[in-house]
Amino acid sequence: MTNFKAYLNHISLDCVIFGFHENQLKVLLLQMKYTKKWALPGGFVKKEESFEEAAERVLKERTGMDNIFLQQFHVFSDPKRSEMNPAVKDLEKSGSGEGLDWFSQRFISTGFYALVDFHKVDPAPDFFSDKCEWKALEEIDNLMMDHRQILDKALETLRLHLTYQPIGYNLLPKKFTMPELQKLYETILGKSLDRRNFQRKILSYKILNKLDERKKGGAYKAPYLYEFNLENYNKALKEGFSGSW
């Protein structure tokens, strides 16, 4: 990762990787080696790669996972967004002259968001960072460069998609309970929903299979387990829900 010849100049991508854990929406972040600033996992695009392939590669490297749900959402092209890029400082300290040239150029970054099953992720830092960790949305502040803006835009897009697309297959384990699914929706939307109405509505979409099993081990009354009906789920992904006109 110190030979940049294989990559397209001034093009980068940043990934907002969402996971759901302990009833919180979390994002996978890297802590830069020298500046200690937190940053979104990102990468560059090889000369024969599509952006989607590049994003998959980055995702694989940071999470160990394949086939991640991935969605591009915006291009961040402000010519000043790369100014004072802390990564440059990180490279100065690491003494890589070649890298310095690379990092001092202007970067146009395409934002992707990814939805992953928290438990399946094995976080791995990259060459420029020494930590890779999940952070709950509330504990995140002061990200590198314009990464806060990128994160906000990703969240905004995710919320929008929620209103006309099913979500959850990529964020939850194979079997899950209705309260868990509801918590996921509530977390993304940032507001609480009525239990009964939520259930009626989500069931009306026909994207769930109710299982005979109940979730054991928890306290109190054991909730039923559900799984996604993939056929209908994928159909809903393509066609979308309702739409007002």
Partner DNA sequence: TCAAAAGTGTTATGCCTACACCCATGC
Partner DNA sequence: GCATGGGTGTAGGCATAACACTTTTGA
Q: Interface with DNA by CB under 7 A: which residues?
A: 177-179, 194-197, 199-201, 204, 214, 219-224, 242, 244
For the chain, the first-to-last Cα distance in angstroms comes to 50
Decide if residue 57 touches its own copies (CB under 8 A).
no
CB of 100 or CB of 160, closer to DNA: 160
Tell me how many residues contact its own copies (CB under 8 A).
Answer: 33
CA distances from 181 to 39, 71, 108, 178, 185 (A): 28, 21, 36, 5, 6
- Residue from the set 89, 193, 215, 227 that interacts with its own copies by CB under 8 A: 193
Decide if residue 75 touches its own copies (CB under 8 A).
yes
- Chain mean position to CA 120: 14
Strands 176-177 and 208-214: unpaired
Q: Pick out residues in 80-119 that bind its own copies (CB under 8 A).
A: 106, 108, 110
**Is 68 within 8 Å of 116 (Cβ atoms)?**
yes
Which amino acid does the sequence have at 216? K
Decide if residue 79 touches its own copies (CB under 8 A).
yes
- Residue from the set 3, 22, 47, 219 that interacts with its own copies by CB under 8 A: 47
Task: Tell me if residue 182 falls in helix, strand or coil.
Answer: helix
Chain residues that interact with its own copies, rule: CB under 8 A: 8-11, 45, 47-52, 72, 74-75, 77-79, 106, 108, 110, 160, 162-164, 185, 189, 193, 240-245
